[in-house]
Amino acid sequence: MSAHCAGRSQSGEPCRQAPLTDRTLCFWHDPEQAQAAAEARRLGGVRRRREGTVAGAFDFEGLDSHAKLRRLLEVAAFDSLSLDNSIARVRALVAIVQAGAKLLEVGELEERLETLEHALGPRLKAIGGRKR
């Protein structure tokens, strides 16, 4: 058995997916899987549209910065605060506070490190400095 599917991509390149067990084609190229593959593609499109709608509604752009993480915590906090008072709500709020405190701590440490690096400037470069 080959390590790669015998099918071709739309651009004519060899498919790099693993073939199904005891087959030469992957899930996406196997004619017996055509209906399931079409449904998977449809659901993927629905998910991407839904993600776009939700991202716009909550002003959510991802998790790759302190500001973006903070925004998601804010959304979670507002949603939790709007719930009826319950033990689950209190637990959610405590978790949000803990995550927010950690986010603030890390942000503060990063600011302090940048201040030190700036102050040390040439001396830090002379000894090999921190790589970013």
The pTM of this model reads 0.51
The pair of three-digit structure tokens given for residue 63, joined into one six-digit string = 């998790």
Among 18, 41, 58, where does a domain finish? 58
Q: In total, how many domains does the chain have? A: 2
Q: Tell me the C-alpha distance between 84 and 13, whole Å.
A: 55
At 61-109, the pLDDT tens digits run 888 888 888 888 999 999 999 999 999 999 999 999 999 999 999 989 9
- Examine the domain organization and report whether 36 and 96 are in the same domain: no
Examine the domain organization and report whether 80 and 117 are in the same domain.
yes
Same domain, 51 and 39: yes
Claim to verify: residue 54 and residue 67 sit in the same structural domain? no
Identify the residue whose tokens are 């992957």: 26
67, 128: one domain = yes
Residues 66, 54 within the same domain:
no
**Locate tokens 């030190």: which residue?**
116
Instruction: Give the tens place of pLDDT for each residue, 27-68.
Output: 889 898 889 888 888 877 777 777 778 778 777 788 888 888
What angle is formed at CA 40 by the lines to CA 7 and CA 34, rounded to 5 degrees? Answer: 45
